[in-house]
A = this chain, B = another copy of it.
Amino acid sequence: MTDRDERPARAKRADAKRNETVLLEAAAAVFVESGVDAPVREIAARAQVGMGTIYRHFPTRADLIVAVYRHQVDACAEAGPRLLTERISPHAALSRWVELFVDFLVTKHGLAAALGSDQAGFASLHAYFIDRLVPVCEQILDAAIAAGEIRKDVGGYELLRGIGNLCIFADDDADYDAHRLAGLLVAGLRT
C-alpha cells in the first residue's frame, strides 16, 4: 500500500500517469455533483478520456472510489488511536470517532449504499473499508470493554456496518438525522 508509487519496477508511461491524475480529479468532481453512482461515461467525458481508459486504470467502480477517498478513510482510521489517548473515556472516544465516520459518509452521495452492497464490483471498496476501519473500531471497543463501559457482544465489523447503514440515503431527508441515530446506537452499547 505504501510501496505502490515508490517502486516503479517498470516505469509507467507518462500519458498513462497523467490520465490517472486527470481521472481522479474528474471522478472526485463528478462524485460530488452526482454521487458515486454517476455513469462511467460522465466521468470519462469530464476527464476528456475514453471509457476504455477508465476501465484500464480502475477495473471496477470500487477501485476508482477507493482511490478518490483513500486519504479521507486513512485520516479517519488514524483518528481512532489518537482519540483514545486524549483524556476522555473510551466510550466518549467511540462517540467522537463514530461522529467522524458519519461525517465522512453522509457527505458522499451513495457511498454508504455502495459500501453495504456486496454486489459484484464493489468487493474492493468493501474490503478497503473493512481493512482500514474495522481494526480501529475494535481497538476502541476493546478499550471501552476493558473499562467496563459497554457490552461485549457487538463486534467492530457489525457496529461499523450498522453505522454505515444508518448513513444510507441520509442526505436527502431533512427529518432524518444519521448523527442522532448513530449516537443512539452507541448509547445502546452501554452496560
Q: Which residues of B have CB within 8 Å of A161?
A: 173, 176
A3 contacts the other chain (Cβ, under 8 Å)?
no
Q: How many copies does the complex hold?
A: 2
**Cα distance A132–B159 in the bound complex, in angstroms:** 29
Give chain A interface residues in 138-177, CB to chain B under 8 Å: 153-155, 157-159, 161-162, 165-166, 168-169, 172-173, 175-177
A81 contacts the other chain (Cβ, under 8 Å)?
no
- The answer to whether A158 touches B176, judged by C-beta atoms less than 8 angstroms apart, is yes
Report the minimal beta-carbon distance from A170 to chain B, rounded to whole angstroms.
Answer: 8
Name which residue of chain B comes closest to A167, CB basis. B165
Report the minimal beta-carbon distance from A167 to chain B, rounded to whole angstroms.
Answer: 8
Q: Evaluate whether A180 and B166 lie within 8 angstroms (CB atoms) in the complex, with A188-B185, A188-B187 already known.
A: no
- The answer to whether A162 touches B181, judged by C-beta atoms less than 8 angstroms apart, is yes
**Cα distance A158–B177 in the bound complex, in angstroms:** 7
Q: Which residues of B have CB within 8 Å of A162?
A: 166, 176, 181, 184
A76 contacts the other chain (Cβ, under 8 Å)?
no
Name which residue of chain B comes closest to A161, CB basis. B176
A117 contacts the other chain (Cβ, under 8 Å)?
yes
Report the minimal beta-carbon distance from A97 to chain B, rounded to whole angstroms.
Answer: 17
- Across the interface, A155 reaches (CB within 8 A) one of B168, B169, B175, B185, namely B175
**Cα distance A166–B1 in the bound complex, in angstroms:** 32
- The answer to whether B187 touches A175, judged by C-beta atoms less than 8 angstroms apart, is no
Q: Which residues of B have CB within 8 Å of A185?
A: 181, 184-185, 188
**Cα distance A62–B175 in the bound complex, in angstroms:** 22
A74 contacts the other chain (Cβ, under 8 Å)?
no
- Residues on A facing B (Cβ under 8 Å): 113, 116-118, 153-155, 157-159, 161-162, 165-166, 168-169, 172-173, 175-177, 180-181, 183-189
